[in-house]
Amino acid sequence: MAGRVRSNIKVGLHVAIVLKEDQRTGELTEGIVKNILTNSSKHPHGIKVRLETGEVGRVKKILE
């Protein structure tokens, strides 16, 4: 639930995201948030972020 609210996501946070190509399997990718890409305060599928590795996906878990 925390990954659906933009105010919970901060740059530098350790998160698990689901990449676009992994949405069917639900496979999670861990990383550090570089940018927050979703402008709205909430999103039902998770806030979209870019990791420091350049990968883009929606936050499913906050790991810190």
Confidence of residue 2 (pLDDT cuts 50, 70, 90): confident
Q: Give the pLDDT score at 28.
A: 97
- Quick check: 46 and 58 in contact, CB under 8 A? yes
Structure tokens that stand for 47 in this block: 């806030």
Q: Give the pLDDT score at 26.
A: 94
Residue 64 has pLDDT above 80, yes or no: no
In one-letter notation, the amino acid at residue 24 is: R
List, for residues 16-59, the tens digit of each pLDDT value: 999 999 999 999 999 999 999 999 999 999 999 999 999 999 99
All domains in the chain, ordered by first residue: 2-62 (2.30.30)
Say what the alpha-carbon torsion angle 22, 26, 32, 35 is, to the nearest 10 degrees.
60
Q: Give the pLDDT score at 39.
A: 97
